[in-house]
């Protein structure tokens, strides 16, 4: 059963719609990557690919302060954010560590976006990403078969 959130705290637990009690680190990692894909899709038309990638990179950089085991975003392609890199790092941790780091990263991303465009527009842009996932997004974030 998915975790439930109070309606007035839309952004306090961004993974709540995507996880069940006792979720594994791999499930947490996949959910976080799915949120990243949806946020990226929502932001690119507004702030462009470079702006979206910069927001993701900055969020990851700030989250590393609390979770130093998170990988730094490579500087080789400033126009993209590699959600798979984050997904793979989260999947290798204990589930409690993965959940804390994923929530930290996504909260940081939300807070940075609020500081740039305001709370109301951020909520409207991210509402779909913070809600229940779509089947297409879930499929796009799965790790490739070995």
User: What are 65-80's pLDDT values in tens digits?
Assistant: 999 999 988 877 777 7
User: What are 45-103's pLDDT values in tens digits?
Assistant: 988 999 999 999 999 999 999 999 999 888 777 777 888 999 999 999 999 999 999 99
The residues with which 20 forms a beta bridge, in sequence order, are 2
The interaxial angle of helices 95-117 and 83-91, nearest 10 deg, is 150
The residues with which 2 forms a beta bridge, in sequence order, are 20
Confirm if 137 and 34 have CB atoms less than 8 A apart. yes
- Residues 82, 92: Cα–Cα separation, whole Å: 16
Mean pLDDT estimate for the chain: 81
């Amino acid at each position: 059963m998915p975790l439930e959130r109070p309606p007035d705290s839309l952004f306090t637990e961004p993974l709540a719609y995507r996880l069940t009690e006792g979720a594994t680190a791999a499930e947490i990692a996949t959910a976080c990557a799915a949120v990243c894909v949806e946020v990226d899709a929502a932001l690119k038309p507004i702030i462009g690919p470079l702006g979206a990638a910069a927001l993701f990179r900055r969020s990851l950089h700030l989250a590393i302060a609390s979770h130093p085991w998170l990988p730094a975003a490579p500087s080789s392609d400033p126009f993209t954010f590699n959600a798979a890199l984050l997904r793979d790092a989260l999947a290798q941790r204990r589930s409690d560590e993965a959940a804390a780091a994923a929530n930290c990263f996504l909260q940081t991303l939300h807070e940075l976006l609020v500081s740039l465009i305001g709370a109301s527009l951020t909520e409207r842009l991210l509402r779909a990403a913070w809600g229940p996932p779509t089947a297409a997004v879930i499929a796009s974030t799965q790790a490739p078969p070995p």
